[in-house]
Structure 1
Amino acid sequence: MLLKWHAVVLFSLISLSIGWYIKEPKEPKQAWGYVPVRANASMFWWLYYADSPTQNFTELPLIMWLQGGPGASGCGYGNFEEIGPLDSDLKPRRTTWLQTASVLFVDNPVGTGYSYVNDTLAYATDLCMVTSDMMTVLREFFNSRAEFQTIPFYIFSESYGGKMAAGIALELHKSIQAGKIKCNFLGVALGDSWISPLDSVLAWGPYLYTTSFLDDKGLKEVTASAKKILDAMNKREFKLATLLWSKAEDIIEQNSNGVNFYNILTPDTTSRASLSSTASETASFLKLFQRHVQYQNKDKLSDLMNGPIRKKLKIIPDHVKWGGQAQDVFANMAEDFMKHVIDIVDELLEANVNVTVYNGQLDLIVSTIGQEAWIRKLKWSKLKQFSEQNWKPLYTSPESTETAAFHKSYDNLDFFWILKAGHMVPADQGDMALKMVRMITHQNH
């Protein structure tokens, strides 16, 4: 086993030192590699240098993108379905974030995407382990790429990635203060984020009722199921709360004729046959995984990542299949899944770290009213002043007359309400997402 670990370390360090730089037609400069974070656990990263026609990458910020799940791949889904230079058909994306920043995708936690474990005991089981692993990655990244140490660095996230981003941002801030990591960290953006699972769950009924996806009877049933989750959380029975969460979603699907949890106005393409009611704990976790992670490993993207992209990257170990360990990633985080991190956001704000919250209007799983609910619970000393601000309408361009979003800001907290977007804001409203990125990173163009 020791020899195997040394082999993994050697292989990973060789890939890091080489950097695997390429420059292909229609593609920006890239680099990728593995970082061994613990024994039997290695994480994959993929960097795209900013591709602006007027500015060098050294004049633009660096953004790290964290996907949700846990178990969904940023190097796959975030890259090819949301913000990378190419879509899943390998056609140029008009609204890629590379126009305005370099982007670092990391498959996180270990076992996600191309990241992998060689021992089932090496999976992360809580936010603390996830954060520790990411510090190892970031320390190695900034040490080996000194050109990025002074470039403004931001963490952007989506869904469960936001919960992880909050913890990672706080630990990164502390590591920089302690001189352990050298980088110019300027803020974290939490997109449709699982910051307070309970507040999200309690908002399901009211949100669906006001959008006519539930009648009085349905609202009563969904509210009752949410109360069971609340009771479990109050008793600190976190794994039970996760299982009850699954049952609450079943009740929503039954009462709403299968509303799409990620965009209420888009048909749900999930195969309901594969989500039949089950009783065992294992089966319930499998159902949750299928509903919330597997759809991001859909066949087309999986074929791309395990075919042409794997061939291009050249460093993926033979035993690693993209997305092959995702189900185990999700299951190992089940105990931690329903825990909130409102206190971590409070610490970030009090430490003067810039925090942005953004949310899609049509998202159910993490509805905007649920986000507003946990923000009201912040103990941040400037919350009252933030709350008293008037929000301002935003437009995608000076010529546009249609409101694309609303924005409120005070000191180091920003909130963006993104209209006509679901859970995946950049996929649904690419132009507005790009404008938001430029506002957050202080680029006036």
Structure 2
Amino acid sequence: MDRLQSHLFVLLVFATLFTRGQPSPQQGTEKWSYVTVRDGAHMFWWLYYADSPSADYKDLPLVMWLQGGPGGSGTGFGNFEEIGPLDRDLNPRNTTWVQSASVLFVDNPVGTGFSYTDRDDAFATNVSTVASDMLVLLRNFFTKMEDFQVGYTVRLNRAEKLCFYRPFYIFSESYGGKMAAAISLQLTKAIAKGSIKCNFAGVALGDSWISPLVPAGRPGLAEVNAVAQEVQDAVENGHFLKATELWSVAESVVERNTNNVNFYNILTQDTDEAVRLRPGDDFISLQFHRHVRRLHKQSLDELMNGPIRKKLGQIPDNVTWGGQSQDVFRSMAGDFMRPVVDIVDQLLSAGVNVTVYNGQLDLIVDTVGQEQWVKTLKWEGLPYFNQLRWTPLDDPASPGATGAFYKTYKNFCFFWILKAGHMIPSDQGAMALQMLQMITQQQTS
């Protein structure tokens, strides 16, 4: 494709974007809006209705995607880099999750992506507040979007039976998994009380920051182990902000000993501009640039603050996509290293379907580390789960080759995705899509 053809193609895609999203977001295959979740705290969501050639969206599940960071944007990175209908260059994505589910992207916590706060004290400082904020958004969403609520009533043999449709799943990545666990627990309680009407069917924790101590201690170098022990001591003594600082030191030691291995895929070096402390910076700034700024690359930043902002039409003039993300990370730093394995235990005990999935090549949240914290669960089904053999799955993109292993028992499932790093849908899109279909109990092609 020559340069002129390329420009014409981009213009055609932009025209499609505007046709689908304008003039009213309440028409067509997408919807988006803001919800004020607290005084001075405004959260943005963007919904794509399922677009399947073989099923109506009413017959397919609703999936909410939560990005990591904290401070990474689901409407940006998750949407255009991983699972949305278009990629960052606005080309159609063959492995988009929209072909199998309606997908709800939420910029979470407040201050992430297009979400924003009116003042500095409105940022969330822990996952409890993150979960409370999300429940406000979900209550608003399901109230307004009645076709995603609890279903309809039919009569069978003179008896009235309530039927459910459009199950709701929460999928997540990285720190988003920690938030997803807390949100799922609060949502389960809210549904039981009747304060939210939805058919919550399960949560999937992808390369998730559930137990930071385990990934922090994995590298085998003596120098790394020494600082990892300091991280562990800080966590065990409840000094979580200090643990975050020491974790930053541990990562610097790993980089120094590996010639800048890419924490998100161990087969590659980190090709981004070298990240190091500059005069006036602190360790939180360093960690933000390591783990959140990479989700806001210039090309994506230009897309979101240019044509996408114009398409959406309701972003306040003083709000820049990603403009408050460092404030989000800084505000959550004191809670960053706090583990939430106990929340996963509570979800399993409550009967919630929980899936853990991880990329084989991930270092920042490695699969072996995930298996280690899983083995600490108090869930009564764990002894049976541990005895199961891993079941191989063919890679849909490479027939005859193994693409993943998984095992499942009752309401717990674990996927180990091969040839994938931290961002599984980016590395192994076809395998990630098949996993989605399996989790939501659909037939795979």
Same fold (TM over 0.5): yes
| Residue 162 (structure 2) aligns with | none
Alignment of 1:11-50 (within 5 A): 20-23=25-28, 29-50=29-50
**8 Å contact kept, 1:270–1:291:** no
Matching residue's letter, 1:221: E
| Residue 347 (structure 1) aligns with | 346
- Distance in 2 separating the partners of 1:327 and 1:401: 44
| Residue 242 (structure 1) aligns with | 244
| Residue 328 (structure 2) aligns with | 329
| Residue 264 (structure 1) aligns with | 266
Residue 230 of structure 1, CA deviation? 0.7
Residue 266 of structure 1, CA deviation? 2.5
Alignment of 1:219-238 (within 5 A): 219-238=221-240
| Residue 156 (structure 1) aligns with | 171
| Residue 408 (structure 1) aligns with | 407
Matching residue's letter, 1:83: I
1:110 aligned counterpart, secondary structure = coil
- Distance in 1 separating the partners of 2:233 and 2:188: 35
| Residue 65 (structure 1) aligns with | 65
Does 2:53 correspond to 1:53?
Answer: yes
Percent identity of paired positions between Structure 1 and Structure 2: 59
Residue 269 of structure 1, CA deviation? 2.4
How big is each residue's C-alpha offset from its partner over 1:298-344, in whole Å with a ceiling of 9 and x where there is no partner? 10000000000000000000000000000000000000000000000
- Distance in 2 separating the partners of 1:399 and 1:327: 40
Matching residue's letter, 2:369: G
Residue 395 of structure 1, CA deviation? 0.8
Alignment of 1:178-257 (within 5 A): 178-203=193-218, 205-206=219-220, 219-257=221-259
2:262 aligned counterpart, secondary structure = coil
**8 Å contact kept, 2:389–2:407:** yes
| Residue 84 (structure 1) aligns with | 84
TM-score by length of 2: 0.90
Does 2:130 correspond to 1:115?
Answer: no
Does 2:182 correspond to 1:167?
Answer: yes
TM-score by length of 1: 0.90
**8 Å contact kept, 1:278–1:284:** no
Residue 22 of structure 1, CA deviation? 4.4
Q: Where has structure 1 moved over 6 Å in runs of 4 or more? A: none
- Distance in 2 separating the partners of 1:409 and 1:354: 11
- Distance in 1 separating the partners of 2:302 and 2:233: 42
2:414 aligned counterpart, secondary structure = strand
1:171 aligned counterpart, secondary structure = helix
- Distance in 2 separating the partners of 1:22 and 1:83: 22
- Distance in 2 separating the partners of 1:21 and 1:127: 31
**8 Å contact kept, 1:127–1:164:** yes
Residue 120 of structure 1, CA deviation? 0.3
**May I ask how many residue pairs the two structures share in their alignment?**
407
- Distance in 2 separating the partners of 1:267 and 1:364: 12
Residue 397 of structure 1, CA deviation? 3.6
1:395 aligned counterpart, secondary structure = strand
| Residue 3 (structure 1) aligns with | none
Residue 271 of structure 1, CA deviation? 1.0
- Distance in 2 separating the partners of 1:312 and 1:279: 39
- Distance in 2 separating the partners of 1:21 and 1:267: 44
Gap regions ≥5 residues in structure 2: 1-22, 151-165
Residue 20 of structure 1, CA deviation? 1.4
| Residue 296 (structure 1) aligns with | 295
**8 Å contact kept, 1:19–1:32:** no
Gap regions ≥5 residues in structure 1: 1-17, 24-28, 207-218
